[in-house]
Chain A
Amino acid sequence: MEYEIEILPKKGFTDLHGARVLSDIMQAGIKDVKKTGYSPVYAIDGITKAEADLIGWEILSDKITETFFITESSTTAKDRGCKELSSGGEKVHAIEVWFKKGVTDTVSESVVKAIKDLGITKEVKVKTGHIYYIYGAVGKQVLEKIATTVLANTLIQDYKINELR
């Protein structure tokens, strides 16, 4: 099975990367966005749910400051971790950025090593990606612009925009 393990800051810890993204968006001259969030995400193929839990806890998240959220990669309408962080009925979009096929993903090699060190010795495949949450009512065109001018380099990365709420 392939699972996507998303890493989120625990409540009470600032999402520094998310804040940086917001300032990058403002610097790019886009004024419509008021709040952003960031989560690294790891897609790991060849593990069980219990192993995903173990990997999320022991390797991918920081035990003190971070938490993690697991989804099955095959799920189409992604239930992303941000819902744990935000309340109320405001709109949320997730812009996901993943490397194109064939682009060297150096972090994934390290994750594979760490999983082996943990004692999970079977063959696993790892891809690393980024999820950017854009909170508030932001139009499709603006989201596209954010994706292409700030978040993804389309030469090496694909992106998709999902409306979560």
Chain B
Amino acid sequence: MNCVNIEILKLNDKELINLSKKNTLSLNLKEMKAVKSYFKKLKRDPTDVEIETIAQTWSEHCKHKTLTGVINYSGADSKGKKVNITYKNLLKETIFKATAELNKKWCLSVFKDNAGVIEFDKLNGIAFKVETHNHPSALEPYGGAATGVGGVIRDILGVGLGAKPLANTDVFCFGNPDTPAKKVPDGMHHPKRIAKGVVAGVRDYGNRMGIPTVNGGVHFDDGYMANPLIYCGTMGIMPKSAIEKKVKSGDFVVVAGGRTGRDGIHGATFSSAELDKESDVSAVQIGNPIVEKKVLDTMLKARDLKLYRAVTDCGAGGLSSACGELGESTGVRIELEKVPLKYQGLAPWEIWISEAQERMVFAVPPKNVKKLLNLFDCENVEATVIGRFTNDKKLTLAYNGKTVGQLDMDFLHKGVPKTAAFARYAPLKETLRKPVKFNGTRIRESLKKVLADSAVCSKEQIIRQYDHEVQGQTIVKPLQGCAINIWGPGDAAVIWPYAVIKNTKKGIVLSNGINHQYGKADTYKMTASAIEEALRNAVAVGANPDRISVLDNFCWGNPEKPEVLGSLVRAAQACYDMSKKFGVPFISGKDSLYNEYTIRGKTFSIPPALLISAMGVIDNVENTMTMNFKRAGNLIMLLGITRNELGQSVFNRINKISGGIAPNVYPEESLKIMRGIYKAANAGLIEACHDISEGGLAAAVSEMAFAGSLGAIVKLGAVLTKENMTDAEILFSESNGRFIIEVKPDNAKKIKDIFKGSAISIAGVVTGDCKVEFGSDKVYISEKTGVLRSAWQNALNLF
């Protein structure tokens, strides 16, 4: 196998585009022309290795061209006023900007490495990253999801000099599992098959890695049937001294872990027909968690022995991205024939861009090479020297002694022409609908339906398949309840890293927020709600709201469509606003664009989804909270204002009610309450805490009751509302900014003092008679907690 020259100098515009298409380069005309003019200066055509390298490095996945390109936006601003704005670099002007302006000194490494890092304690940092693996999971759910998990774990291994993974979180959006088989488009897997395969893939990879999967979510919408969303996240801990990496000229390039095959070349875009043609080609990435576990075990030893100066993972673009990144400021020369292969017959360019899994690339000082290779060898990890960092600022690729490619690092990393795109957006015009006057019977039926709805119901059958206790540090668990009978839905997870940090009392909280349904009204509200939900979840278990960082993860449709890009701009605006107002910095992020699919010639974009993942620090893990009611006789107190916000709510959907106003976010109100909760929790004044989200007050109280195997009486008249609302509206509104707390009667006054100036009311009392009761002057609703629990627990039937 050898490399060939690709004729480009002679090509006209049309031929350039054809070349890009034919070779699956995904470069547009402007970019192809930039490539052409670069090689014109060199007076030669590029080799296949060179053009593939450029295509990988300039890919949307690696460069985020859309979000960092020029966008001419016309539409609503944060206050809803119509404006025209030109963004030179949307990310820099919204998300990065907020982080820079907040300038938190506990943010240790943001937006520059494989993960964001914040301070844990004086000596240690914690790193967090969430990635998506949507397209591979649509094609091969098990392998796609497994390698999604494997990939994000490698991000944590590849941040700085490597962090030790402590926990995984996973959030999925699937099509409706009850979709009739005949409604599934040809060539696509049924949502249930996708869901089962994805869960199994996440389970098998995460469990085998020995990393607990502690938090997540599963969401269903027909819009994700052909294009599911698979978000995988990992959090890890590292000494502060391991946060920076620095390659030196003369260091050796070592690749360790799995062997290289044709896995995932050009992503999983091969059709099956093409696969058959070359039947030994595997377009799909197959994961092997045990190989990655061996890499983890050995590389952290090598890190502590300071045997290498830099490390990164092989993700999208494989070695080309990994070596290209590490050698950006020095230059690097790689001898491609040295890369260990799974089987013979790979062309040099295939070796270079293969996305074979479980590989890490190290920069190793010459004096340490032998030691490092030996350390890997002792535990059967294959590690090989494949090249050396230079000082010529060039990427040089050789194959059997012959140079097969040479590119200037500057051109490779900075030569991509800026794109310019148009964006426009108009949120849905929302109007308050006429009052929903349900009698007690209809409210009770609605409550059972809400609890059984796929957005609210128990995901226990998935959660239990993940080992959420391995490492022994999960002290606020995904399922909560009394004694060991735990099934209630925890808001967030808390990791107490006692096995890593001696005598620590501190903990790490992880939570998620995603509200794709509100995006149908306005992606600003969707984004603001997701951010607030992630914060609320974290605070509900005891996180300090002033020590929380977040990650963004955009899954959007085709950004070349102005409406799609417009909805994304609006989401980015909300990210900036909320980040500033809550004082919550973004530390890392990711975007997956072009999530669209074609059915019978018609192309659809997915409903946009923004996952916000929060990581926070807790000073004393003993003061963390769970959501189950603890004791009959305690008071149920409600924090936050209930507004008439039932637009896009679960209640409206199950009752086929259209219209209404989707929830807004009121950061000043919310933040004040969140700070109060942290204060009260640390004073030991809160027995249980739960945030109110999908399904509203009614669902939240029911969950707390059946999780604690207790009952509750709530007086609807005591709920503080902004406007006149009916009983059903009060019970099922999904207004943000609200919590339910359980308080001992003796502590009620102290609690009221802490929350002075915020909306707080005593809404009811915990009872021992296993009934959930809601009452007002008009209605009285009572249902056995057992009935509510079984409606909630038995609804999802995936397995």
Contacts and interface: CB of A to CB of B under 8 A. Distances in A.
Contact of A102 (B143, B262, B288): B262
A104 B193 contact: no
Contacts of B193: 28, 149-150
A50 interface: no
B275 A100 contact: yes
A149 B190 contact: yes
Contacts of A150: 193
Q: Which of B192, B196, B275, B342 has the most CB of A within 10 A?
A: B275
A105 to B, nearest CB: 8
B285 to A, nearest CB: 9
Given A28-B181, A28-B193, A155-B139, A103 B279 contact: no
A104 B288 contact: yes
A156 B286 CA distance: 10
B286 A104 contact: yes
Contact of B284 (A109, A149, A156): A156
A109 B263 CA distance: 17
Nearest to A101: B280
Contacts of A149: 181, 189-190, 193
Interface string A133-165: 000000000000000011001111000000000
B175 interface: no
A100 B282 CA distance: 8
B181 A103 contact: no
Contacts of B140: 153, 155-156
A24 B192 CA distance: 10
Contacts, number: 56
A100 B283 CA distance: 11
Contacts of B342: 104
B343 A156 contact: no
A102 B286 contact: no
Chain B binding surface, main DSSP class: loop
Nearest to A109: B288
B225 to A, nearest CB: 15
Contacts of B262: 102
A9 to B, nearest CB: 21
B282 A29 contact: no
B284 A155 contact: yes
Nearest to B271: A155
Contact of B283 (A104, A109, A155): A155
B261 interface: yes
A138 B71 CA distance: 58
A28 B181 CA distance: 7
Interface in B362-396: none
Contacts of B196: 24
Contacts of A86: none
Chain A binding surface, main DSSP class: loop
Contact of B275 (A106, A109, A110, A155): A155
Contact of B286 (A24, A29, A106, A154): A106
Nearest to A30: B181
Contacts of A100: 275, 279-280, 282
Interface string A100-140: 11111010011000000000000000000000000000000
Nearest to A29: B181
Contacts of B190: 28, 149
A24 B195 CA distance: 12
Nearest to B280: A102
Interface in B159-195: 180-182, 189-190, 192-193
B279 to A, nearest CB: 6
B463 interface: no
B286 A155 contact: no
A117 to B, nearest CB: 13
B281 interface: yes
Interface residues of B, number: 29
Contacts of A101: 279-280
A20 to B, nearest CB: 9
Interface string B274-295: 0100011111101110100000
A107 to B, nearest CB: 10
B279 A104 contact: no
Contacts of B724: none
A110 B290 CA distance: 10
A155 B288 contact: no
Nearest to B275: A155
A28 B343 CA distance: 37
Contacts of B603: none
A156 B281 contact: no
Contacts of B142: 153
B655 interface: no
A27 interface: yes
Contact of B261 (A27, A102, A110, A156): A102
Nearest to B285: A104
Q: Which of B281, B282, B290 has the most CB of A within 10 A?
A: B282
A150 B180 CA distance: 15
B143 A156 contact: yes
Given A153-B140, A155-B140, A29 B180 contact: yes
Contacts of A153: 139-140, 142
Contacts of A103: 282, 284, 286
A137 B624 CA distance: 59
Contact of B272 (A24, A27, A104, A155): A155
A101 B288 CA distance: 17
Nearest to A110: B290
A25 B190 CA distance: 12
B507 to A, nearest CB: 35
A109 B342 CA distance: 12
A128 B574 CA distance: 51
Interface in B124-157: 139-140, 142-143
A110 to B, nearest CB: 8
A142 to B, nearest CB: 13
Nearest to A102: B280
B111 to A, nearest CB: 33
Contacts of A109: 288
A62 B142 CA distance: 26
A156 B146 CA distance: 15
Interface string A6-33: 0000000000000000001001110000
6 contacts: A29-B180, A104-B286, A109-B288, A149-B190, A155-B139, A156-B143
Given A103-B286, A149-B193, A155-B139, 16 more contacts: A27-B192, A28-B181, A29-B180, A29-B181, A100-B275, A100-B280, A102-B261, A102-B279, A102-B281, A102-B343, A104-B286, A106-B286, A149-B189, A153-B142, A156-B140, A156-B286
Interface of B: 139-140, 142-143, 180-182, 189-190, 192-193, 196, 261-263, 272, 275, 279-284, 286-288, 290, 342-343
Top 10 closest pairs, chain A to chain B, by CB: A102-B280, A29-B181, A104-B286, A106-B288, A103-B282, A101-B280, A102-B282, A156-B284, A153-B140, A101-B279
